[in-house]
Amino acid sequence: MDLNTLTKSRDQIDLIYRQVYSNTSHIELGWPRHEPRVDLSLRRPYTAAVIGGAFGDEGKGRTVVNLIHNFFSKQEIKKVYVVRFQGGNNAGHSLEMNGIKWAQHQVPSGIHLPSVYGIMDSGMVIHAEDLMTEYLQIERVTKSNLKGKLFVSNTAVVCSDLDRAKEIINRFLNSGAKGGTGRGIGPAYAGYYDRQSLLISDLTASDWRQRFSKLYKNLDKLTHIHGFDLSQMEVPDFAATKAKNKSCNRTVGSLQVFIDRLAQARKWLLGQKLVTNTFVIHQQIFDDAQVAVLFEGAQSVGLDAWLGTYPDVTASNTTLYGIQPSTKFWKQSQVWHRIAVIKATYTSSVGERQMPTQIDLPFPITKKQELSSDQQWADYVRTEAHEFGTTTGRPRDIQFIDLGLIGYNVFMGGVEALVATHMDIARAREKIKVCWGYRNLDGEVVAYQPGLIYQQDLIPQYIELPSWDGKKVMKAKSIAELPEDALRYLSFLQHVLGVPIVAITTGSKEHDYITFPGYL
Ligand code: IMP
C-alpha cells in the first residue's frame, strides 16, 4: 500500500472499478502469485497476529481458532501458544465448537483445544475474579481441562471493582456520558500510567491485603468527596451476568467484602499456578521450532488509544505495536502473518461515536414500513448478523463499509493481509454502498484522520457495487462455489485497500470459512 491509498480520487476508484468489473478481467484474490512477498528474513516462522480492522467484533476469535487448526496441519507444529497482549474484560470473542457457542473475554481464544496454551501478557488489565469465572465456564462448556495451559503475567495490571467504581465516578463527572464498557478498563490503565495501579505480582505478594486495602481506602476518600459511598456503588457482576445471561450488578461492598472476594480469586490463581514471568516463556518458545505463536488482539485499530476515534477509544495499544510493550520480547517486525479482520459488506461499532457513514436506525424499531432504503439495509444487517454487543448486549451502530477508515487502520496498524467476515450479509438485486473516501465542505477529497473531531463535516463518497445472494455464499465451500459478484467485490476491496484478502467467512458456524492463497 502506498500513502496515496489514503486519498484516492474518484478517477482512481473508477479505474479500479473498470479493471475489476470488466468482462475480461481476471479475478485474483489473496497474495498475487507473481509478486515476491516482502522480506521475510527477519520473521519468526509460524507466527501470526490477528487484530481488528474497524471497531471490534469483526470475528477475531474464530480467525484465531482457524489459524490454530491451520498451524496444526503442518507436520512440524506440535504446540500453539496464543498471546493476548492488551485489553481485559471489555473484549468479547464469540466462539463455537460442534454447535456449542460461548464468548471469551480475557482468556485467549482456542485454549480449549488440545496442545494450545494461552498467555495473558503484561499489557492486559486483568480482573482476577472474572478470570476465575470465565476459566471455569470454558472448562464446563467445552468439556476441557485447562490445567497447565494458561499463563498469567506477573506484571499484568490488576483491574478490580475499584476501577469499575472509578468509571462510574468518571461518568458522573461527565454528566452521564458512558464512554466505556463499565468494566473498569480506562481507570485501570490510567492508574498504570499514573503509577498507582497494582500488578498481579502485588496480588500474589504476602502483604497483598495491605496493598489492596490502601487502594480501597484511597478510593473511599475520593468517592466521599463526590458524594458516593464506595461500599454501595453498583458495578457489573460478571459471574451473575454469565449465569443469568443478562446484565447484573453488585455493590463493591465494604473493605472486608472487597478483600474477601479478592482472597478467593487469589487463592485460585495461586492454586492453579497461573502466575508466572511470561518473558521466560517467550524466550523458550521463540527458539522452539515445534511451536507456533499467535498474537490475539482485542478491540481494534479504530479503538486504539492514539489511532482511534478519541475520546471514544479504549485505553490500550490495539495495533500490532501493542505486542512489543506487552510481551517486552517480541517485535511486531518478527511476526510472519499480520492479519486484520474486517466485516466485508458493512462496518459496525458500539459506543458514543457518530461516524460519517453511520445509518441512523431507531432501536427498537416500531414502524418498519417507514424506514428509508438505507435504514432497511441497516435493519437487515443488524438482524441477520445479530449486531448486538457480546459483552454488553447493546445494539451496535451500523455503518456503510468505510474504506477510508479501514485503509487508514490497516496502513497504521501494521497489517499486511485481511480476513473479510460476514460475506453472507448481502442481498441479491441490491447494490452494496461502499464509502471509498470523503470530501470536505469545499469539495476536496480528504484522508481519514483519527479522532472524533475529524469525523465532522465529512461527506462520505460512495460507489455502489453489484451485490449477490448471501444464501448462496452460505452454501459455498470453496472459491469456485462463490458468486462471481462476490469475488469481484473482494477483488475491488483488495485493490482499493492495497492489501490482499486471504480468507472470508460465509456464515456464523466455525467451518464457514474459505481461505485464499497466502493465508498461511
Ligand atoms: P472501554 O474499553 O471499556 O474503556 O470502552 C471504550 C470504548 O471502546 C467504548 O466505546 C466501548 O464500547 C468500546 N469497546 C471496548 N471494547 C470493545 C470490544 O471488544 N468491541 C467493541 N467495542 C469495544
Separation CA 160–CA 193 (nearest Å): 16
- Nearest Cα to Cα of residue 488 among 520, 460, 508, 463: 463
User: Which residues are catalytic, by number?
Assistant: 57, 93
Residues ≥6 apart with Cβ < 8 Å to 131: 106, 107, 120, 152, 265, 269
Whether residue 311 contacts residue 63, with contact meaning beta carbons closer than 8 Å, is answered with no
351 CA to middle of ligand 1, Å? 7
Cell of residue 392, nine digits: 454488553
Separation CA 380–CA 390 (nearest Å): 19
Separation CA 292–CA 290 (nearest Å): 7
How far, CA to CA in Å, does 259 sit from each of 127, 160, 182, 266, 386?
A: 14, 11, 21, 10, 39
Residue at 140: amino acid letter: R
349 CA to middle of ligand 1, Å? 9
C-alpha Rg value of the chain to the nearest Å: 23
pLDDT of residue 33: 63
Cell of residue 313, nine digits: 477509544
Q: Which atom of ligand 1 is nearest to the CA of 180?
A: 5
Which SS3 state, helix, strand or coil, does residue 206 take? coil
Give the helix ranges, DSSP H, for 45-178: 60-72, 128-142, 161-173
Q: Which atom of ligand 1 is nearest to the CA of 184?
A: 3
183 CA to middle of ligand 1, Å? 9
Among 50, 84, 90, name the best residue to mutate to test ligand 1's pocket (greatest count of ligand atoms within 8 A of Cβ): 90
Cell of residue 187, nine digits: 481507570
105 CA to middle of ligand 1, Å? 12
Separation CA 69–CA 115 (nearest Å): 11
Cell of residue 117, nine digits: 496454551
Cell of residue 468, nine digits: 449477490
Q: Rounded to two decimals, what is the model's pTM?
A: 0.96
- Residue 119 CA, chain-centre distance (Å), reads 17
Binding pocket residue ranges, ligand 1, CB within 6 Å: 55-57, 90-92, 180-181, 183, 185-186, 298-299, 303, 312, 314-315, 350-351
Separation CA 38–CA 2 (nearest Å): 14
Cell of residue 145, nine digits: 481441562
Separation CA 63–CA 513 (nearest Å): 9
392 CA to middle of ligand 1, Å? 10
Atom 19 of ligand 1, nearest CA residue: 91
Among 181, 238, 358, name the best residue to mutate to test ligand 1's pocket (greatest count of ligand atoms within 8 A of Cβ): 181
- Nearest Cα to Cα of residue 293 among 511, 78, 514, 89: 78
pLDDT of residue 1: 45
Mean pLDDT by 10 residues, the chain (520 residues): 69 95 86 69 94 95 97 98 97 92 96 98 98 98 97 98 96 80 96 97 98 98 95 97 92 98 98 98 98 97 97 96 98 96 96 92 83 95 89 85 96 95 95 97 94 94 98 96 97 94 95 93
Atom 5 of ligand 1, nearest CA residue: 180
Separation CA 7–CA 15 (nearest Å): 15
Angle (CA) 362-363-369 rounded to 5° is: 60
Separation CA 207–CA 218 (nearest Å): 17
Whether omega before 311 lies within 30 degrees of 0, making that bond cis, reads yes
Atom 2 of ligand 1, nearest CA residue: 314
Q: Which atom of ligand 1 is nearest to the CA of 186?
A: 4
Residues ≥6 apart with Cβ < 8 Å to 356: 402, 435, 438, 455, 458, 459, 460
Q: Which atom of ligand 1 is nearest to the CA of 394?
A: 12
299 CA to middle of ligand 1, Å? 7
Residues ≥6 apart with Cβ < 8 Å to 39: none
Q: Which atom of ligand 1 is nearest to the CA of 90?
A: 16
Separation CA 477–CA 479 (nearest Å): 7
Residue at 204: amino acid letter: T
- Strand-strand pairing, 459-465 and 116-120: unpaired
Furthest C-alpha separation in the chain: 74
Which residue's entry shows cell 512489543?
324
Q: Which atom of ligand 1 is nearest to the CA of 350?
A: 12
Q: What H or E segment, with its residue span, contains residue 515?
A: strand 513-515
What is the four-CA torsion angle of 186, 187, 188, 190, rounded to 10 degrees?
90
508 CA to middle of ligand 1, Å? 22
Among 314, 390, 421, name the best residue to mutate to test ligand 1's pocket (greatest count of ligand atoms within 8 A of Cβ): 314
Separation CA 405–CA 450 (nearest Å): 8
pLDDT of residue 367: 77
Separation CA 116–CA 442 (nearest Å): 54
- Residue 254 CA, chain-centre distance (Å), reads 35
Among 157, 171, 299, name the best residue to mutate to test ligand 1's pocket (greatest count of ligand atoms within 8 A of Cβ): 299
Atom 20 of ligand 1, nearest CA residue: 56
